[in-house]
């Protein structure tokens, strides 16, 4: 399959693009990819992005930490510390919006399973889907949890999950509409979907421009604005009922952005940026670097 060259917007179908800039793949290939902006719905796209069968090569790096439990280095260590905190925060959000203390949960793109393990301990019935076989094996070794390959999304029984979660996953999937349609099919009548994605309309992204780590090309196919996410959900008769800021993600993304821009991490500067960005988002939540969309 060749690279995907968009001539119309995969979300709103408009043919109204403008070029934003070229962003470098800092983690794996060093290649540059063009970011184009849909002037109709506001989504940004990674142009000429590798197809579903070719993208795997761009995940092959020891630095790609969400799949690598053992990678060392200060940023990776911080990532895991923060993850322990955010996992608990996510559990609280799920209980609040489903109004359930226990239920059935599907985590799409569960990685090495830290989140579903926490939910299982809280007596939720969990199912995890993960495309990467190594990550699935790690989930089993670490937590004793059997996770399924991503294709199982299409064969799981309808109306079976009170909560469906995608933590920084939707921006990676090639079959965007098929995935959203399956999520809707699998959700119970009162179920809730939680979608976390980076938000390129945040202050950090404006400060760092093409160095903003939230672009993460070519692994991120789509770069959502709050409006673009609402348009996508509307097309599937789903509704964004709440947008929640993910405060701690700002610090992490900021440190990576600083590393990309300056060649090394300027921790204090990055910390200050992250802090400023969060203070800004306190005033205007939709400007947080990373948002959880609560969808019904
Ligand atoms: Zn569009």
pLDDT digits 0-9 by tens, 272-289 = 666 666 666 666 667 788
Those residues whose C-beta lies under 8 Å from the C-beta of residue 238, and which sit 6 or more positions away, are: 180, 184, 193, 295, 296
What's the 184 CA to ligand 1 centre distance in angstroms? 21
Q: Please give the C-alpha separations between residue 113 and each of 32, 59, 137, 255, in angstroms, as whole numbers.
A: 31, 18, 10, 25
Q: Are 290 and 199 in contact (CB under 8 A)?
A: yes
Model pLDDT, residue 104: 98
Q: Are 202 and 286 in contact (CB under 8 A)?
A: no
What's the 211 CA to ligand 1 centre distance in angstroms? 23
What's the 232 CA to ligand 1 centre distance in angstroms? 9
What's the 235 CA to ligand 1 centre distance in angstroms? 12
What's the 47 CA to ligand 1 centre distance in angstroms? 14
What's the 15 CA to ligand 1 centre distance in angstroms? 8
What's the 45 CA to ligand 1 centre distance in angstroms? 9
Q: What is the pTM of this model?
A: 0.89
* Number of C-beta neighbours around residue 95 at 10 A: 17
What's the 219 CA to ligand 1 centre distance in angstroms? 19
> Which of 86 and 242 is assigned the larger pLDDT?
242
Q: What is the mean pLDDT of the chain?
A: 89
For the cut 70, the answer to whether the pLDDT of residue 111 exceeds it is yes
Model pLDDT, residue 268: 62
Question: Which pair of tokens denotes residue 149?
Answer: 């390959």
Per-residue pLDDT band for 181 (boundaries 50, 70, 90) equals very high
């Amino acid at each position: 399959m060749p690279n995907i060259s968009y001539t119309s917007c995969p979300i709103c179908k408009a043919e109204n693009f403008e070029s934003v800039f070229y962003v470098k793949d800092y983690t794996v290939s060093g290649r540059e990819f063009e970011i184009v902006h849909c002037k109709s719905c506001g989504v940004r796209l990674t142009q000429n992005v590798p197809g579903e069968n070719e993208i795997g090569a761009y995940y092959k790096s020891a630095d790609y930490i969400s799949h690598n439990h053992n990678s060392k280095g200060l940023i990776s260590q911080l990532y895991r510390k923060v993850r322990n905190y955010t996992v608990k925060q996510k559990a609280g959000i799920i209980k609040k919006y489903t109004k359930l203390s226990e239920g059935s949960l599907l985590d799409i793109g569960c990685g090495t399973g830290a989140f579903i393990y926490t939910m299982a301990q809280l007596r939720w019935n969990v199912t995890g889907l993960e495309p990467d076989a190594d990550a699935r094996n790690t989930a089993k070794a670490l937590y004793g949890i059997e996770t399924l390959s991503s294709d199982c999304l299409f064969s799981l029984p309808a109306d079976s999950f009170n909560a469906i979660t995608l933590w920084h996953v939707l921006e990676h999937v090639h079959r965007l509409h098929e995935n959203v349609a399956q999520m809707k099919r699998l959700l119970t009548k009162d179920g809730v979907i939680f979608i976390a994605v980076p938000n390129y309309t945040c202050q950090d992204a404006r400060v760092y421009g093409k160095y903003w780590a939230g672009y993460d090309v070519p692994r991120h196919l789509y770069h959502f604005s709050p409006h673009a996410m609402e348009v996508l959900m509307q097309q599937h008769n789903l509704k964004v009922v709440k947008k929640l800021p993910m405060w701690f993600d700002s610090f992490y993304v900021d440190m990576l952005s600083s590393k990309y821009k300056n060649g090394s991490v300027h921790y204090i500067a990055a910390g200050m940026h992250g802090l400023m960005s969060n203070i800004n988002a306190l005033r205007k939540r939709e400007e947080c670097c990373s948002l959880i969309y609560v969808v019904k």
